[in-house]
Amino acid sequence: MALHFIGAISGTSVDGLDLALIDVDPVVPRIIDATTEPIPGPLGDSLRALALPATGDVNLMARADAELGELIGQAARAFAGDRPVRAIGSHGQTIRHDPRAKPAHTMQIGDPHRIAEISGIDTVADFRRRDVAAGGEGAPLVPPFHEALFKPPKGERVVVNVGGISNITILSPDLLTGFDTGPGNALMDAWIREHQGLAFDRNGAWSATGRVNPDLLTDLEQDGFVRAPPPKSTGKDFYNLDYLRMRLKGSEDPADVQATLTEFTAASISWAIERWAPSSADIVVCGGGRLNDDLMHRLGRRMGSRRVMKTESLGVDGDAVEAAAFAWLAYRFLERLPGNSPTVTGAAGPRVLGAFYPANRQIR
């Protein structure tokens, strides 16, 4: 019987709960099915608030942890249906991530006890903290899964994931590397939410009406993170509205700011590729940002002769990749196989990632 695993993640954009069902193969895992479950408005507001540095409400965190755990458990149970599922790999929602603090720390919520109890499926969660404990960044964790799915038969390829934060995976014949490059949708989403009350800039329609502010773009590009060497990772506790407001004079046209933020995302990705993967010919993009036509146009222009394509060109749903990665990490945990890549995170060595939460009953 095929081994099926479900992955669940609410990413930094907090734009939905992504679920993916995979069939684990010793060589190439296969994504069988995927869906996105809406996050109720009040819970989404709580998750966004908890990601900001100034929020320290323990009661809010405890309530959101329970509510998100219940949502994941219910969604995973419905998504599994009658299909046999060995385990759920739940990433949950990151609310803090600072691997450069003393001590380094990262925190994801979404109560795995509730997930196992409600879904009736064994659950693996808390994937990032072991890597941090071993001296790593705890992120990104998807590059080994990108390697399993997308490594070309020869040459070098870059996989770009544009969620709230952007990260790249460099698939070369000899070495797997990857790191966060800077903001993905985080700043764009925050700006349009403040000015138009929208969750995101659909197709990049608003940013396409603006003009890039060169002074603002230069200021953004000098924030200290973009050009820092890897290993490195970041989150919305860094890239948020306060980060942006400190760089605004107050007279900027909002559409021009949106255009500049979109250009900044494209610029930070392209700079990382030019610096750390200069021989890559193919750029494969997944995550919600691939649906932003203006962003893809700006990235394509900066990449010149390189081929920029969505993962769908390779037969993979770009919305499902990150959730599928955590399903794969659950499989790796149960097999006691390492889930991290020290060349990506900087950890002291390979580590089995996650913690186990057994179900009272098994869906078979």
Structural domain boundaries enclosing 245 = 143-314
In the block, which residue shows the tokens 């962003």? Answer: 295
Say yes or no: 165 and 93 in one domain. no
Q: How many other CB atoms sit within 10 Å of the CB of residue 350?
A: 15
Say yes or no: 130 and 263 in one domain. no
pLDDT at 55: 66
What's at 62, amino acid-wise?
Answer: A
Structure tokens at 348: 């002291």
Burial status of residue 272 (CB atoms within 10 A of its CB: 0-12, 13-18, 19 or more): buried
Say yes or no: 221 and 77 in one domain. no
Confidence (pTM): 0.95
When divided into structural domains, the chain yields a total of 2
Q: How many other CB atoms sit within 10 Å of the CB of residue 331?
A: 22
Say yes or no: 45 and 135 in one domain. yes
What CATH number is attached to the domain comprising 111?
Answer: 3.30.420.40
Say yes or no: 242 and 188 in one domain. yes
Say yes or no: 81 and 102 in one domain. yes
Say yes or no: 184 and 118 in one domain. no
Say yes or no: 206 and 251 in one domain. yes
Say yes or no: 293 and 350 in one domain. no
**Residue 120 included in any domain:** yes
Say yes or no: 241 and 154 in one domain. yes
What does the pLDDT profile of the chain (364 residues) look like in tens digits?
A: 458 999 999 988 888 999 999 999 777 899 999 999 999 999 999 999 998 887 668 999 999 999 999 999 999 999 999 999 999 999 999 999 999 899 999 999 999 999 999 999 999 999 999 999 999 999 999 999 999 999 999 999 999 999 999 999 999 998 999 999 999 999 999 999 999 999 999 999 999 999 999 999 999 999 999 999 999 999 998 999 999 999 999 999 999 999 999 999 999 999 999 999 999 999 999 999 999 999 999 999 999 999 999 999 999 999 999 999 999 999 999 999 999 999 999 999 999 999 999 998 654 4
Say yes or no: 245 and 298 in one domain. yes
User: Residue 265 in 3-state DSSP?
Assistant: helix
Say yes or no: 171 and 284 in one domain. yes
**Residue 243 included in any domain:** yes
**Residue 172 included in any domain:** yes
Structure tokens at 296: 């893809």
